[in-house]
Structure 1
Amino acid sequence: MAQPIVMTNEQLHALIEAVRVSAASAAGNAAAAGEAGAQGAKGKGSFSACTHSFGGTRDHDVVEEFITNIKIYKELEYISDENALKGISLLFYGLASTWWQGVRKEAHTWNDAIALIREHFSPTKPAYQVYMEFFQNKQEDNDPIDTFVVHKRALLAQLPSDRHDEETELDLLYGLLNIKYRKHISRQAVQSFKELLEQGRIIEHNNQENEEQAATAKNARGSRRTTRCTYCSFRGHTFDNCRKRQKDRQEDNNEE
């Protein structure tokens, strides 16, 4: 019969500490291996499977969307700056491809390449031009408030950083809103674009509901107007509730 193992408190604590140290060491080795694997993967990524491309359109929104997309792709695919710079030509076609052949020697880093794209295809607009475009158009009656606000804020984002706070931007935009919104939303009632959009959507929903009810009522009135009695040929009632028919029947019964 095996003898039970008897340990002192000191021996038990020493055993527990040894197990803890061993587990921590194993976890550290696993993390280091994972990090090394990630670093190795980062050096192997490329734009060969990237579906985002650019043809040379001189449009601020298009250029910024392209840059944002390839930056995200680069990060998700663990593409190093060196490989990204080498492979960025895979993303160009048409005019952009021709342009890149002429300027690629000027791009010594990945950030240089991004800066060159912006500089050539989406140069920074002077502030006065941004303001001209901002105030050029007011909100049309059929413009959803979400779409209108998004476009105006995109223009304001092209101004130098921290040119206006949100309150000032609201002041600039409020006067461009369609009157159907300004009738129900006072400038003092909103302190952020989020509040403006929330109240604007409510107005749009209510207006749509009113239009639907008006259309239903109009159709109902039109239906009543087209109803023609087959007895007297007048519109607005049917044979069953024709008063002339009822009167004639009553006169016939009296004569009998």
Structure 2
Amino acid sequence: MAQTIQMTNEQLRELIEAVRISAVSAAGNAAAAGGADAQGAKAKGSFSACTHNFGGTRDHDVVEEFITNIVTYKELENISDENALKGISLLFYGLASTWWQGVRKEATTWNDAIALIREHFSPTKPAYQVYMEFFQNKQEDHDHIDTFVVHKRALLAQLPSDRHDEETELDLLYGLLNIKYRKHISRQTIQSFKDLLEQGRIIEHNNQEDEELAATSKNTRGSKRTTRCTYCSFRGHTFEHCRKRQKDRQEENHDD
């Protein structure tokens, strides 16, 4: 026969409190373990989900963009140098993949891999070549000042960092600007590229307004020229405002 256990209200409350504390403690331990597992998983990150890739294009801008993207991804995903070096092949395709198979033994560190990419696909240009490309083209009428300045500064960035200060770079660039900018921006009024871009944007905005006004005025003049009265066939007025029609009607009424 089962024995009945009797508890006072106080004992029952104590038992319930003990169960509650035990449950809270267990949940806390589980959360801590989950956080540790998440940190461990993050620490063991890889390039498997990285969407940036490289096919072997020999273009300085493309190469630098690829390197910047994967370095940033590596930092954000907390990928170790060892895992990054092991997984970098996942980011190559085509010619780059074939190239990596041949040189991967030369890369013993992550920095070695980055240096090899630059060395093979974007080798440092000699200074004279950079200057030739820089002065090769002047700004055309259709070139926005932002785009033009960005491309020219990207070329200058391929020179050693101590080669020119900003003032000298402005001197080099100023003579390549389109005359529509140089007419309104004197070299003495710009102390930085920020100054140049701000003033250049104002000029572009004003020019755009002038073109829109000119187009509107042309359309208005054109519409006036093409207005022709269907009664007398003369231009410049409509049937409703034709004086000849009004005069003829008056004469007809007078004759009646």
Equivalent-residue separation in structure 1 for 2:111 and 2:67 (angstroms): 11
Q: Alpha-carbon deviation of 1:243?
A: 3.4
Pairs within 5 Å for 1:39-118: 40-41=40-41, 43-118=43-118
Ranges in structure 2 where 5+ consecutive residues have no aligned partner:
1-32
Q: Alpha-carbon deviation of 1:248?
A: 4.2
1:125 aligns with 2:125: yes
Q: Which amino acid aligns with 1:56?
A: G
Equivalent-residue separation in structure 2 for 1:106 and 1:42 (angstroms): 28
Identical counterparts, % of pairs: 89
**Corresponding residue SS for 2:233:** coil
Q: Alpha-carbon deviation of 1:240?
A: 2.6
Specify the alignment match of 1:148 in structure 2. Answer: 148
**Corresponding residue SS for 1:123:** coil
Pairs within 5 Å for 1:13-32: none
Q: Which shifted more, 210-219 or 232-241? A: 232-241
Specify the alignment match of 1:27 in structure 2. Answer: none
Equivalent-residue separation in structure 2 for 1:254 and 1:171 (angstroms): 83
1:44-84: CA deviation from partner (whole Å, max 9, x where unpaired): 01001111000000000000000000000000111000010
CA spacing shift, 1:36–1:187, aligned 2, 3 Å: farther
* 8 Å Cα contact 1:228/1:234 also seen in 2: yes
Q: Which amino acid aligns with 1:204?
A: E
Ranges in structure 1 where 5+ consecutive residues have no aligned partner:
1-32
Off by >6 Å, runs of 4+ in structure 1: 35-39, 253-256
RMSD of Structure 2 on Structure 1 (CA): 2.2
* 8 Å Cα contact 1:41/1:78 also seen in 2: no
What TM-score do the two structures reach when normalised by structure 1? 0.82
Q: Alpha-carbon deviation of 1:242?
A: 2.4
Specify the alignment match of 1:195 in structure 2. Answer: 195
Equivalent-residue separation in structure 2 for 1:186 and 1:252 (angstroms): 71
What TM-score do the two structures reach when normalised by structure 2? 0.82
Q: Alpha-carbon deviation of 1:37?
A: 7.5
Pairs within 5 Å for 1:161-240: 161-240=161-240
Equivalent-residue separation in structure 1 for 2:124 and 2:153 (angstroms): 16
Pairs within 5 Å for 1:244-255: 244-249=244-249
Specify the alignment match of 1:23 in structure 2. Answer: none
Specify the alignment match of 2:25 in structure 1. Answer: none
How many residue pairs align between the two structures? 224
Equivalent-residue separation in structure 2 for 1:156 and 1:39 (angstroms): 42
Q: Alpha-carbon deviation of 1:112?
A: 0.3
Q: Alpha-carbon deviation of 1:39?
A: 7.0
**Corresponding residue SS for 1:240:** helix
Q: Which amino acid aligns with 1:230?
A: T
CA spacing shift, 1:176–1:38, aligned 2, 3 Å: farther
Equivalent-residue separation in structure 1 for 2:102 and 2:82 (angstroms): 19
Equivalent-residue separation in structure 2 for 1:41 and 1:195 (angstroms): 47
CA spacing shift, 1:90–1:232, aligned 2, 3 Å: same
